[in-house]
């Protein structure tokens, strides 16, 4: 048995591909957007079935995109109705509805050595009918300043460019209908 292990190691070392090191880096970023809707409304629209406003996916037209707002909940994308094919974007590691939610997972960086935590804080704005939505991003791993900037800009797109108009146009009340805020 020992001879087998030794010969396996010798063959493995000879056939091994060279290692490609990367520099581990970390970045923090924050985004704050005011949304003209009560906090509970914004939280509910930002979680559950988010297919209506979340427009980045692995599959061209996914059957569903869901953020389960519960501890251990998933943020997943199901490729086709009735199928188990899809991707797990992140896990919910903290929730205190409707004030906070924290996701841990690579989101669109699946397949890279990246650790990403996205912390949401929703607070009442100047009036009870407005919500200040703040996202704090903490990322580390195989990520450089350029990629960190892209991640931040994608979150600006999601919250300011998609969720805000989705909620303010009332599309969250009719999630099965096309959203007028995104009409071309």
* Sequence spans of domains, the chain: 23-173
Place of tokens 């949304």: 35
Full strand arrangement of the beta sheet holding 25-35 = 25-35, 131-141, 114-124, 100-104, 86-96, 74-78, 64-67, 48-49
Q: Is 69 helix (H, G, I), strand (E, B) or coil?
A: coil
User: Within 13 A of 158's CA, how many CA atoms are on the CB side?
Assistant: 23
Q: What is the pLDDT of residue 129?
A: 96
Cis peptide before 66 (omega within 30 of 0): no
Per CATH, the number for 23-173 is: 3.30.530.20
Q: What is the pLDDT of residue 137?
A: 97
pTM metric for this prediction:
0.86
Q: Which two tokens stand for residue 66?
A: 């869901």
Q: What is the pLDDT of residue 108?
A: 80
Per-residue pLDDT of the chain (184 residues; tens, 9 = 90+): 666 555 555 555 566 678 888 888 999 999 999 999 999 999 999 999 999 999 988 888 899 999 999 999 999 999 999 999 999 999 999 999 999 999 999 888 877 888 999 999 999 999 999 999 999 999 999 899 999 999 999 999 999 999 999 999 999 999 888 899 998 6
């Amino acid at each position: 048995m020992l001879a087998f292990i030794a010969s396996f190691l010798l063959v493995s070392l000879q056939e091994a591909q060279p290692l490609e090191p990367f520099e581990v880096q970390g970045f923090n970023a924050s985004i704050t957007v005011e949304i003209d809707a009560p906090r509970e409304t914004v939280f509910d629209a930002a979680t559950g079935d988010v297919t209506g406003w979340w427009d980045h996916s692995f599959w061209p037209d996914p059957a569903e995109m869901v953020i389960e707002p519960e501890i251990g909940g998933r943020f997943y994308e199901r490729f086709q109705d009735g199928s188990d094919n899809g991707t797990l974007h992140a896990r919910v590691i903290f929730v205190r509805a409707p004030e906070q939610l924290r996701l841990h997972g690579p989101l669109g960086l699946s397949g890279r050595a990246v650790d990403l935590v996205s912390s949401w804080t929703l607070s009442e704005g100047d009036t009870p009918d407005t919500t200040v939505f703040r996202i704090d991003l903490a990322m580390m791993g195989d990520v450089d300043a350029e990629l960190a900037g892209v991640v931040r800009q994608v979150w600006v797109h999601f919250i300011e460019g998609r969720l805000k108009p989705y909620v303010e146009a009332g599309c969250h009340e009719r999630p099965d209908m096309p959203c007028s805020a995104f009409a071309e």
